[in-house]
Amino acid sequence: MSAGGLPASSDATAAMSIAPLLSVALTSILRNRMRSFLTMLGIIIGVAAVIALVAIGQGAQSQIRQSIEDLGTNMIVITPGSSTQGGVSRGAGSFNRLTVDDADKIKRESVLVSNVSPVIIAFGQIVGGTGNWRAPLFGVSDTYLEIRNWPIADGTFFSNEDMRTRKKVVVLGKTVADALFPDQDPVGARLRVRNVPMDVIGVLSTKGQTASGDDQDDIILAPYTTVQTRLSGHQFIAQILCSTATPQDVAPAKEEISGIMRESHSLAQWEEDDFTVRDQTQIAEAAQQSTRVMTLLLGAIAGISLLVGGIGIMNIMLVSVTERTREIGIRRAVGAREADIMRQFLIESMVMSLLGGLGGLVVGVGGAVLLGRLAGWSTAVSGQSVLLAVIFSASVGIFFGFYPARRAASLTPIEALRYE
């Protein structure tokens, strides 16, 4: 074997198999460990950055999907529309004409809607248990939990009879229950909301945070009739929630709801809607589109590191060709073909890039897990991103190793042997 690690025996005249070429490539890489490591460092950083940053983006998308699912099954949300003043729109929700009568009309006339709940929101200080707390009080119907796909953890939910009699009962979210009644069962206890006494009849199961960081468990539910008459006092309501039996019914149900709402508000054909009808698909698409763009940007930024690493590999391979010029001349003189020389340097470049890719894979996965734990972010390392990063790193080795390999293969035996 010559000084560069290449076999110079007579069998060099035949095309070398992959196994000997891999052995030669590893021998050459290990002979200059520090230089090889510094060369692979760009690939390691690039692959690690791609995996870690894409994991953050995919984790954000997964969290948003989960948050949308937590909103409810096949849910449709009706909110106030916008008003225009001086030819300028004042924004969504600036013109509220939603009433309980609208919800009742949808419930009576809709064919596709299975559940309807008005939502009335009131704020105030809640006193009870071991202290006081400030949380939004939602006045809803007895079908609210079914719309939101939100089970009861303890106790019961209020009934249609409770709504009819405007009973002063509440169901607590987990955050409120833990704050006011730590280490004890709140069911059966009494608290005050704006000096209105309320009996606790149940505690909701934990929902967790939304994608925007809002605590869904920091909530109190009560019959909407009780909230409207005793706490809110307003005719207009915050929103109307509906749900359908199947996901396929959501789109036609939205059109049906729009027609019922326009009739309820006596809107002429030429007048625009004074309400907005949305479903969770629209919310999910809007939220995921932004995270998808963020993921692509993060991946593109990380891809620049792979490009820089590839340039480093090309530079070192050119140096290697220069250092081993006489060796290349000897091999050519004893019968090695251009394809043999080119294959050898391409494999050496690809092995170096793959080793860097595997190192980056370990660093990237570990970094994503560590970042998720330290920062509290949701991360998701997918097999697709890992496979893509490794394949791309190998492609970088082939792409940036091609020119040095072609240059080595194009050397004539006489020119190479005369090199000093």
Q: How confident is the model at residue 195 (pLDDT cuts 50, 70, 90)?
A: confident
Distance of alpha carbon 168 from alpha carbon 173, whole angstroms? 17
Domain shared by 307 and 204, yes or no: no
Q: Does 110 have pLDDT greater than 80?
A: yes
The SS3 call for residue 108 is helix
User: For residues 287-321, b (16+ Cβ closer than 10 Å) or e, as one string?
Assistant: bbeebeeebeebbeebbebbeebbebbbebbeebb
Q: Cβ(41)–Cβ(309) under 8 Å?
A: yes
- Compute the radius of gyration of the chain from its Cα atoms: 34
Domain shared by 247 and 128, yes or no: yes
pLDDT at 227: 92
Q: How confident is the model at residue 68 (pLDDT cuts 50, 70, 90)?
A: low
Concatenated DSSP letters of 152-171: EEEE----HHHHHTT--EEE
pLDDT at 89: 45
Q: How far is CA 243 from the centre of its chain?
A: 25
Distance of alpha carbon 44 from alpha carbon 23, whole angstroms? 22
Domain shared by 107 and 245, yes or no: yes
280 assigned to some structural domain:
no
pLDDT at 142: 94
Domain shared by 250 and 298, yes or no: no
State the Cα angle at 276 between 271 and 279, rounded to 5°: 140
Q: How confident is the model at residue 10 (pLDDT cuts 50, 70, 90)?
A: very low
Of all residues in the chain, what percent carry a pLDDT higher than 70?
79
Domain shared by 304 and 253, yes or no: no
CB half-sphere exposure, 74, CA atoms < 13 A: 18
77 assigned to some structural domain:
no
Report how far apart, in Å, the C-alpha atoms of 171 and of each of 48, 106, 154, 186 are: 47, 26, 10, 10
Q: How confident is the model at residue 362 (pLDDT cuts 50, 70, 90)?
A: confident
pLDDT at 72: 58
DSSP state of 382: -
Per-range mean pLDDT, top range of 27-36, 119-128, 228-237:
119-128
Distance of alpha carbon 214 from alpha carbon 217, whole angstroms? 9
263 assigned to some structural domain:
yes
Which residues, listed in sequence order, are joined to residue 126 by a DSSP beta bridge?
133, 193
Which residues, listed in sequence order, are joined to residue 155 by a DSSP beta bridge?
202
Q: Are strands 169-172 and 196-204 parallel, antiparallel or unpaired?
A: parallel
Kindly state the average pLDDT of the residues 173-193.
Answer: 91
Task: Look at the chain and report how many structural domains it folds into.
Answer: 2
Rounded to the nearest integer, the mean pLDDT of the chain is 79
168 assigned to some structural domain:
yes
The two tokens of residue 11 are 């069998």
pLDDT at 70: 62
Kindly state the average pLDDT of the residues 208-228.
Answer: 85
pTM over 0.85: no
Q: Does 85 have pLDDT greater than 50?
A: no
205 assigned to some structural domain:
yes
Domain shared by 241 and 306, yes or no: no
Kindly state the average pLDDT of the residues 65-87.
Answer: 68
Domain of residue 58: give its range.
10-66+287-417
Helical axes 33-71 vs 338-375, angle rounded to 10°: 50
Report how far apart, in Å, the C-alpha atoms of 210 and of each of 143, 376, 377 are: 22, 14, 13
Q: Does 116 have pLDDT greater than 90?
A: yes
Domain shared by 161 and 27, yes or no: no
Domain shared by 112 and 203, yes or no: yes
Domain shared by 29 and 169, yes or no: no
Domain shared by 333 and 392, yes or no: yes
Per-range mean pLDDT, top range of 12-26, 62-76, 191-205:
191-205
The SS3 call for residue 335 is coil
Kindly state the average pLDDT of the residues 52-61.
Answer: 75
Closest CA to 361 of 10, 26, 51, 33: 51
Residue that terminates a domain, selected from 215, 241, 273:
273
Residue that terminates a domain, selected from 238, 273, 308:
273
Q: Does 15 have pLDDT greater than 50?
A: no
80 assigned to some structural domain:
no
Domain shared by 110 and 247, yes or no: yes
State the Cα angle at 331 between 327 and 337, rounded to 5°: 135
The CA-to-CA distance between both ends of the chain, in Å, stands at 20
pLDDT digits 0-9 by tens, 277-317: 988 766 666 666 666 676 677 667 666 767 777 777 777 77
Amino acid letter, 118: P
Kindly state the average pLDDT of the residues 35-62.
Answer: 78
Q: How confident is the model at residue 13 (pLDDT cuts 50, 70, 90)?
A: very low
Q: How far is CA 419 from the centre of its chain?
A: 57
81 assigned to some structural domain:
no
Residue that terminates a domain, selected from 273, 302, 335:
273
Q: Are strands 84-85 and 75-80 parallel, antiparallel or unpaired?
A: unpaired
Q: Provide the greatest CA pair distance for the chain.
A: 104
Domain shared by 104 and 247, yes or no: yes
pLDDT digits 0-9 by tens, 220-257: 999 999 999 888 877 889 999 999 988 888 889 999 99
Concatenated DSSP letters of 225-285: HHHIIIII--SS-SEEEEEESSGGGHHHHHHHHHHHHHHHTT--TTSPPSEEEEEHHHHHH
Kindly state the average pLDDT of the residues 402-409.
Answer: 74
Q: Cβ(404)–Cβ(314) under 8 Å?
A: yes
156 assigned to some structural domain:
yes
- Chain position carrying tokens 């995996």: 51
